[in-house]
Structure 1
Amino acid sequence: MKILCIIPARGGSKRIPRKNIKPFLGKPILSYPISAAKKSGIFSEIMVSTDDDEIAEIANISGAEVPFLRSIKNADDFATTADVLLEVLKKYQDLGQEFEFACCIYPTAPFVTSEKLKEAFSVLKSQCKDVVIPVLPYEHPIQRALFIEKGRLSMLHPENTSIRSQDLPRRYHDSGQFYFFKVSSFLAQKTLWMKDTGAITLSHLLAHDIDSPEDWKIAEMKYTLIQSGQ
């Protein structure tokens, strides 16, 4: 059984320049998911898909393979993650390599752990899912969402006004960390949101979106707190 880890890390980044290799607590942020993937012991190969020579060099130093560079077409702002994964799997097929399972880990996900990767893979196999995604519970019930229109604050679903928060069903969102999937299902459906999608849940301490310099600082503080065991 061959299992591939794919980390998509292109060179361009608008909001945070060189985001995929920017130092995170002294190390390129790309090195964190590579380390988690290696520690999991799951993968036959850990590769980074990039169009950038510097990123490729850092990936190699961190212990990942860069067997080929990403095409120009899939290195722009409009290429989807699915586009990149399809290209990677096709190039491996051209090299005579087939994989039964694969996991796409985002390069700016320093909170990914080997334990969660193993948990997701276990669910993928034991429940025969197409894909397993780590999710986070919304911190406040989305059924009590508000909106502002013409200066007036209103409830999106006023029927929930008098329902206690704890009595509303829990809802979740994608953590933006990784997708563990069955390759044949992905090649057939060409999307990471597949017909039979499973999930594992994360605590808010083990995930953090990094979309701005402020997010970056908060993520470093959170990561330091976790490492200190507090």
Structure 2
Amino acid sequence: MRILSLIPARGGSKRLPGKNIKLLGGKPLIAWSIDVAKEIPEICDILVSTDSQEIAESAKNYGGYVPWLRPENLSTDTSSSADMAIHALQWYEDTHGKVDGLLLLQPTSPFRKINTIQFGIDLFKKTKNAVVGVSKTHTHPSWSFKIENDILVPFLDGSGTRKRSQDLEDAYNVNGSFYLTSPSNLISSLSFFEPKVTPLVIDNEFESVDIDTLLDFQFAEFLLSKNMIH
């Protein structure tokens, strides 16, 4: 099986400027995803899609494949990840031949494990479905609210607020660490979530760390300083 690993790394981060090449544990954030992808036998290439020359050079230094800079129209705040992924996928297949799967590894999830990625790929082989990384949510949707006319209103039907949290059915959120689908599903649905999605349940909370803000980054640094990441 040939799987193309795609690492999206836009240069215009607003909440944490320069995050993709910000040093974490002595190496750029993007290098964590490149390094783990190198260990997966099914991955044929680690393609980095970026609009930043600085990110491109950093990714190349760690073994990423950066043959071009992402077009400007796919690098805006409103550009979709599906459009970006399809652009990279079609270029790669036109240049290097067909692949069986596209694995999106966001650089903001530095602590994902080799065995977790391998298990996700095995699920993909077995089910033929898209596979997406999820973790149990800390705030159950039954305990989420919206505000209407200055009044707090349950986001769902409200019945969950009459139950203890431990009595509620488990709920999961997408943690951003793993997205794998077939080229045909991605192109036909323009999504990593259709037509069927198999969950890659990640119980290790450290693997689910998703760095979008300075506080997230400082938490990741804390975990490393305490030798909690192995």
Fold match by TM threshold 0.5? yes
The answer for the alignment partner of 1:124 in structure 2 is: 124
1:134 aligned onto 2:137:
no
Specify the code of the residue in structure 1 equivalent to 2:29. I
RMSD: 2.0
The answer (yes or no) to whether the contact 1:40–1:115 under 8 Å persists in 2 is no
Q: Aligned partners of 1:188, 1:22: CA distance in 2, in Å?
A: 36
The answer for the alignment partner of 1:144 in structure 2 is: 143
Deviations 1:30-83 (A, max 9, x none): 000011111223201111111222211111111111122211111222211111
Specify the code of the residue in structure 1 equivalent to 2:106. Y
Q: Aligned pair count? A: 228
Question: What percent of counterpart residues are identical?
Answer: 31
Structure 2: unaligned runs, 5 residues or longer:
none
The answer for the alignment partner of 1:65 in structure 2 is: 65
**Structure 2 CA distance for partners of 1:25 and 1:150, relative to 1, 3 Å:** farther
**Structure 2 CA distance for partners of 1:225 and 1:115, relative to 1, 3 Å:** farther
The answer for the alignment partner of 1:53 in structure 2 is: 53
**TM-score, length basis structure 2:** 0.90
What displacement does 1:151 show? Answer: 6.4
Q: Aligned partners of 2:67, 2:229: CA distance in 1, in Å?
A: 37
The answer for the alignment partner of 1:211 in structure 2 is: 212
The answer (yes or no) to whether the contact 1:100–1:184 under 8 Å persists in 2 is no
Structure 1: unaligned runs, 5 residues or longer:
none
The answer (yes or no) to whether the contact 2:4–2:99 under 8 Å persists in 1 is yes
Deviations 1:11-39 (A, max 9, x none): 21111111111111221000000111112
The answer for the alignment partner of 1:112 in structure 2 is: 112
Q: Aligned partners of 1:81, 1:224: CA distance in 2, in Å?
A: 33
| Structure 2 counterparts to residues 172-183 of structure 1, below 5 A | 172-183=172-183
The answer for the alignment partner of 1:166 in structure 2 is: 166
Q: Which runs of 4+ in 1 moved over 3 A?
A: 146-158, 223-229
The answer (yes or no) to whether the contact 2:51–2:71 under 8 Å persists in 1 is yes
Deviations 1:116-167 (A, max 9, x none): 11111111111121x1011011124321334556766565444233322222
What displacement does 1:96 show? Answer: 4.8
Please say which of residues 216-225 and 190-199 is displaced more in the overlay.
216-225
